[in-house]
Amino acid sequence: MFENLSHLALQQYWWIIISLLGAFLVFLLFVQGGQTLIYKLGKTELEKKLIINVLGHKWEFTFTTLVTFGGAFFASFPLFYATSFGGAYWLWMAILLVFIIQAVSFEFRAKPGNFMGRKTYEAFLVLNGTLGTILLGIVVSTFFSGANFIVEFGHHGIQSSRWTHPAHGLEAIFNLQNLALGFSVFFLARLLGAMYIRRNIDHQTIAKNINRIILKSAIPFLLFFLIFLTILVTKDGYAYHPDTGVVFMEDYKYLHNLLEMPINSFIFLAGLVLVLTGIFKAAFKDSTKAFLYAGTGTVLTVFSLFIMAGFNNTCFYPSTADLQSSLTIENSSTSHKTLTAMSYVSLIIPLVLLYIIFAWRAMNKKKMSKEELEGDSHTY
C-alpha cells in the first residue's frame, strides 16, 4: 500500500502526522497552564493538593507526547532534527530542563522527608508551566520566522550543517513574532488549565475564583495571538520551486497559503471559533464543557498552522543566514524506503489513541474532591 505512494506523498503524510502530534502537544500543555495557577487558586494546602493531583494524573501524557513529537521528527525529517537540535541546543536544553524538573516535582513533592520541601517543588511546577509553554511557542514560531543556520548540500547528501549565531537558539527569544506566539501559547495553556480544573475539581472556592482567571488570561491571549497572526499574514515568506527546489522570497506567502488551501483555512477558522466559544462559555456561562470546545479548537488551530508552514511549496524551517539552506519537507526527509516502513508502523496510532481515550475517561470518571484524595493510595 504505502510502497506504491510517491516519495512526496509519503513526505506529506508524515508532515500531517507531525502536525497532529504538534497540535495535541500544544493542547496537552493545559497541564503546564494549570500548574501556573497553583498559588492563584490554591490558597490552602487542601486546595493546592487538589489542583496538583488533578493535573498530576495527566502530566505524563504531555511528557510522552513531547518525546513522541521529537522522535517522529527525527525519524521522518532527520535533517531538521540534526540542524535544530544540533544547532539551537541552548534553546532545546532549556526546554528539556524545565520538563525534567516537572517530572521530578510531581514524583517527589509529596514524598515524606524530601530534602527540598514541598514549596520548592511547587515553584518548579510554576516554572515549568511558565517557561515550558513560552519556549515551545517560540520554537513553533521559528517555523515561520526562520533560524540562523547553513546547510551545505553535496552530490551524495549533506556535507555539513552549522549554526551561525553564538547564542545557539536563544536568539529566537528576541524576535517579536516568536515572543507573540510564545506568550499566546502560555496564556492559552493557562486558559485550558483553568477550564480543566473547573471541570474536574469539586470545590466551591476554586470554582468561584476560576472565572476571574479566565478573563485575565483571555485578553492577553487574544492580543498576543492577534499580533502573531498580523505579522504572519503580512510578511514575506520562504517558498521553493517544486521542480528545482530553488528557494525564493514570496510576498504575503502565508496569506497566499490561507487563500490557496481552503480546506486548511476552514480548519483554522473553525478552530479559532471553537476556542472563542470555549472562552465565552467558561467566562460567562460557567460551563464545564468549555474545556471541550477550547481544547478541540486548539488542536484544529495548531494543526492548520503546521500545515500552513509545510505545505504549498513552503519552507517549514527557513534559514535567515542562507536562503538556499532553508528546509522543506522534500529536502529534509528520510528515504522513501524508511518512510514506507514507518508508515506501516503508524497504522497502530488509532489503537494508541483509543487506549489514551479509555485511560483518560477512567481517570476522570469522578471529580477530584477531598474524599477522593483521602481514598487515593498515590497522591502527588
Rg (the chain; Cα; Å):
21
Q: Which residue has the cell 535567515?
A: 320
Q: pLDDT tens for residues 319-371?
A: 999 999 999 999 999 999 999 999 998 888 888 788 778 877 777 777 776 66
Q: Which residue has the cell 490558597?
A: 43
**Is residue 327 a contact partner of residue 315, using CB atoms and an 8 Å limit?**
yes
Task: Output the pTM of the full model.
Answer: 0.93
Task: Measure the CA–CA gap between 22 and 15, rounded to whole angstroms.
Answer: 10
φ, ψ for residue 334 (rounded to 5)?
A: -80, -175
Residue 252 neighbours by CB under 8 Å, 6+ apart: 233, 234, 235, 236, 237
Residue 203 neighbours by CB under 8 Å, 6+ apart: 47, 50, 369, 370
Q: pLDDT tens for residues 216-274?
A: 999 999 999 999 999 999 999 999 999 999 999 999 999 999 999 999 999 999 999 99
Q: Summarize the chain as % helix, strand, coil (round to 5).
A: 70, 5, 20
For 172, the 3-state DSSP assignment is helix
